[in-house]
């Protein structure tokens, strides 16, 4: 049995989101902390690794009573779904590319990103250290693609249902947390919308897919 399922939908940005692109050198007057961008369109993206890592971290916190636990201590369901040294991840998180840049500009945005000026205060000297942080603006939409590999031994789909439920729990947790950096300052609030799941390789019984769809619907409610 070789089956792949595709989970699709959108991530909607509700507050400015910063996922850094790295900037070892900044010219005078340049943005101190730019967002990561697609090198061709120069529009912001959400790396699949950022989404995968945050969901895994939130699940680990919620399923492990030890706040200092490492990946090796993760729950069996987490390791089965996201991978470990012993097994390959069943999930593939695609990079997410901004889809509505033209719409945002048509609504009055100057650019798909904004620059927010912030001050960091040195707690010892009291000195202010101003900086410029680039953010993907509120209202941005990023189409979501997550591929799930069904286990070859999962003939009764028990693990499939457990895995999709675990993933949905992580997605729900993310909506009450933040994606990217500076979340405690209000950055990175997101929500999932238009979630769906379908078989893209092989066949799964309709009643199993419908149960998975119900889990996804709960994420949006």
Q: What pLDDT digit, counting tens, does each position of 181-220 carry?
A: 999 999 999 999 999 999 999 999 999 999 999 999 999 9
Q: What pLDDT digit, counting tens, does each position of 97-133 carry?
A: 999 999 999 999 999 999 987 766 666 665 656 678 9
pTM summary value: 0.89
CA distance linking residue 148 with residue 143, whole number of Å: 17
CA distance linking residue 115 with residue 161, whole number of Å: 42
**Could you give the domains of the chain?**
4-220 (3.30.70)
Q: Give the pLDDT score at 72.
A: 56
Q: Give the pLDDT score at 24.
A: 46
Give the pLDDT band of residue 221 (cuts 50, 70, 90).
Answer: confident
| 3-class secondary-structure state, position 204 | coil
Q: Give the pLDDT score at 40.
A: 94
CA distance linking residue 83 with residue 90, whole number of Å: 7
% of the chain surpassing 70 pLDDT? 86
Contacts of range 38-46, beta carbons closer than 8 Å, 24 or more positions apart? 38/97, 41/97, 43/97, 43/98, 43/101, 43/112, 44/19, 44/98, 44/112, 44/113, 44/136, 44/140, 45/19, 45/95, 45/96, 45/97, 45/98, 45/142, 46/11, 46/19, 46/95, 46/96, 46/142, 46/179
Better-scored residue on pLDDT, 117 or 83 = 83
Q: Which of 174, 195, 220 is nearest to 55 (CA)?
A: 174
User: What does residue 22 show for φ and ψ, rounded to 5 degrees?
Assistant: 85, 135
Q: What pLDDT digit, counting tens, does each position of 54-71 carry?
A: 999 999 999 886 766 665
Mean pLDDT over the full length of the chain: 89
Q: What pLDDT digit, counting tens, does each position of 10-32 carry?
A: 999 999 999 987 654 444 445 67
């Amino acid at each position: 049995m070789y089956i792949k399922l595709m989970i699709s939908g959108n991530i909607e940005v509700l507050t400015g989101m910063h996922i850094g692109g790295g900037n070892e050198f900044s010219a005078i007057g340049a943005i101190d902390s730019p967002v990561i961008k697609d090198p061709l369109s120069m529009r912001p993206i959400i790396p699949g690794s950022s989404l995968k890592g945050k969901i895994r971290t939130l699940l680990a916190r919620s399923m492990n009573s030890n706040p200092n636990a490492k990946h090796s201590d993760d729950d069996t369901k987490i390791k089965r779904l996201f991978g470990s040294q012993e097994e390959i991840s069943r999930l593939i998180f695609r990079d997410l590319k901004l889809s509505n840049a033209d719409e945002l500009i048509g609504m009055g945005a100057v650019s798909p990103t904004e620059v927010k000026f912030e001050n960091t205060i040195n707690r010892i000297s009291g000195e202010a250290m101003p900086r410029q942080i680039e953010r993907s603006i509120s209202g941005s939409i990023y189409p979501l693609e997550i591929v799930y590999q069904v286990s070859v031994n999962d003939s009764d789909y028990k693990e499939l249902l457990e895995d999709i439920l675990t993933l949905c729990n992580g997605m729900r947790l993310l909506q009450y947390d933040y994606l990217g950096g500076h979340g405690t300052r209000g950055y990175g609030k997101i929500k999932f919308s238009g979630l769906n799941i379908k078989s893209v390789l092989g066949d799964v019984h309709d009643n199993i897919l419908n149960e998975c769809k119900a889990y996804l619907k709960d994420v949006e409610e």
